[in-house]
Amino acid sequence: MTQRTRLVVPVSERDHRQGPDTAAVTLVQYGDYECPYTRRSTWVVQAIQQQLGGKLRFIYRNFPLTEIHPHALYAALAAEAAAGQGKFWEMHDYIFHHQHTLEDADLAGFAEAGTQRRARDTHLLHQWRLVSRLLGAGRLTSYAPGSEPNSVTTI
């Protein structure tokens, strides 16, 4: 007998996903880009994806543990900015590959390097820099990938 479990927060269009929506198995990972255990789990997820193929739908949700990982939030925001350009998974992989260098300047450099690889598209870099400035000034109230950051209320 197969037991089905329902997610408390159902998968939606806002989630970052790989694999078909009709897959028999959905794996949801809440991850932190600065966490070494999350980084190691990416290899496990890739192995499962290889083994199950189209039977697996993988969902990644940002869950930065800011109390212990001071760069995790900015890394998640960089990945979300990339998502606005349809490049979430490239940035996701790049950040984990360079996990040891997650200072603000490094993250801006990741975005810039990615921008150069995408025929000098400067929109992602602009979004990242704007989000960084607003966060640094304590003025960011909300940010949805693909939209302009909102700075209506001071936090």
135: left (phi over 0), alpha (psi -120 to 50) or beta: alpha
Q: Can you give the pLDDT at residue 103?
A: 74
Report long-range pairs for 42-45 (Cβ below 8 Å, ≥24 apart).
42/93, 42/96
Residue for token digits 């400035």? 133
What does the alpha-carbon distance between residue 112 and residue 141 come to, in Å, rounded to a whole number? Answer: 25
> May I ask the CATH class of domain 16-136?
alpha beta
Q: Which of 45, 46, 34 is nearest to 95 (CA)?
A: 34
Q: Which of 3, 94, 10 is nearest to 57 (CA)?
A: 10
Tell me the mean pLDDT in the region 108-131: 57
Domain coordinates in residue numbering, the chain:
16-136
What does the alpha-carbon distance between residue 126 and residue 108 come to, in Å, rounded to a whole number? Answer: 10
141: pLDDT strictly greater than 50:
no
Q: Can you give the pLDDT at residue 140?
A: 43
Supply the pTM of this predicted model: 0.69
